[in-house]
A and B are shown apart, each in its own frame.
Chain A
Amino acid sequence: MTDADGLLVKRCLHGETMAMQALVERFHPEVFGLCVRILHHRQDAEDVAQEVFLRIFRSLKRWDSKRPLRPWVMGITVNRCRTWIGQKRRRPEPVDYVEEIATTTPVDDGSELAREIQAALEGLRVEYRGVFVLFHEQGMPYEEIAQALRKPVGTVKTWLHRARLEIMDHLRRRGMVAEVEHEMP
């Protein structure tokens, strides 16, 4: 896997268009999905995903070929999303843009439960949000998340634990958890 990644990266560094396209196609769904989950805005997610790939191609020669490529790509994605959110907080929001956000459905899930989880995610800190999505949606193990975010595994575990607690609390407050009897599966 790492050899294939190394070869792909080497070809990208030589400027092979096909290799670059292959890299984008391989990681785009995950990068875009993570951007959507963190930013809650499709248009923003598209822009940030493009930025992420530009950044990846810029700094590809700094990638350590001994490490897997995926956590590195996801780490760049989380960092770009965090930077985007920070910039968005600082710059004034045009009125029509605000309306666009309000009318845009944040996710394409039909379920109310999924929408509530998405709403709960919006209330989380960016770091917690990233860790939660990477673990529960992207299926990344703790070690890879720690590599991606350049944090200790313990920190990742703590963030994930807090994210879960906040989401569960949100679901309870929103009445999404029915009163359960002691019957267990």
Chain B
Amino acid sequence: MKCLDIKIWLQNWLDGQAPGADGQRTVEPAAQAHFRQCKACREQFAAAQRMVEGMKLFSRPTSPARDLSRSIVAKALQDRVERRLKFQRRLRLTVALAASILIMVIAGYIFEPGPKKDNGNGVVAKQEAPATDPRKQEAPPEKSKEDSTPALAKALDEAKGTMAALTGKLTDQTRESAKRLITAATPTLELPPMGTGILPEESIDATASVLKAGQEISDGIQPVTRSARRAMDFFLREMSTFEVAKVE
């Protein structure tokens, strides 16, 4: 036998030393022969023998009290009751929580403000709540500057166009009125062909009066146009101020 074989043999020897197999240990002649030659293995075996000897001297620790089993059982029964109560409490709490969530959901469904629309799939969709703040409608706070600026510019362009159209329409109406007035004033008056530069004597007075009327109409329109322009400028200035403040 070699040292490695002795190590394996020693473990097997120790395995056979379980309580009950006491006193039956034997040492093989081959192992004995190796122990005579090898001091390290001999010492290892001696230590193993001492360990086994010491384990035999180990006495079982005595139980602390005779009525220990009774007290342990009492504690176990109490523990069982406590655990059952805890489980019931937890169950009640869970049921109560589930019921309150259900009530909240039902109440929310019943008392939800605003009409509901069916989207055709059997799902009732909520209608969007009306916005109370008009500024929020124009430029919602979630939108970025890039998103809100084109919309504002478009609105301003539309306002400008509308004002220009109104002014043009008013001018056209005034011109038509003036034409009708001239026609009514001199029904037989024949105007010379364009480019001659000479008007008949009768028509000079009529022309002067028409020019005067036209001038008066123009003077009358001017304040309206000026007021509209001022209003437009004011509107634009205010809007630009608001836009800057909002972005900041």
Contact = CB atoms under 8 A, between A and B. Distances in A.
B32 A50 contact: no
Contacts of B80: 15, 57-58
A29 interface: yes
Interface stretch (B43-51, B124-132, B171-179): B43-51
A172 interface: yes
Given A139-B19, A177-B43, A32 B61 contact: yes
Contacts of A117: 51, 54-55, 58
Given A167-B51, A168-B48, A185 B17 contact: no
Interface stretch (B65-73, B91-99, B200-208, B218-226): B65-73
For chain A, give the interface size range.
35 or more
A42 interface: yes
Interface of A is mostly: helix
A172 B40 CA distance: 12
Contacts of B35: 182, 184
A127 interface: no
A143 interface: no
For chain B, give the interface size range.
35 or more
A180 interface: yes
Contact of A164 (B51, B60, B73): B51
A114 B69 contact: no
B43 A172 contact: yes
Interface string A24-37: 11001100110011
Nearest to A24: B69
A111 B54 contact: yes
Given A139-B18, A164-B51, A168-B44, A53 B27 contact: no
A126 interface: no
A168 B72 contact: no
Given A33-B60, A58-B79, A161-B11, A178 B73 contact: no
- Residue of B20, B44, B51, B80 most packed against chain A (CB within 10 A): B51
Contacts of B17: 136
A3 interface: no
A171 B51 contact: yes
Interface of A: 15, 17, 20-21, 24-25, 28-29, 32-33, 36-37, 42, 45-46, 50, 53-54, 57-58, 107-109, 111, 113-114, 116-118, 135-137, 139, 141, 161, 164, 167-169, 171-172, 176-180, 182, 184-185
Given A45-B61, A164-B14, A177-B46, 20 more contacts: A15-B80, A17-B77, A20-B73, A20-B76, A24-B69, A28-B72, A53-B72, A53-B76, A57-B79, A111-B57, A113-B53, A117-B58, A135-B18, A136-B17, A136-B18, A137-B60, A141-B18, A161-B11, A171-B50, A182-B32
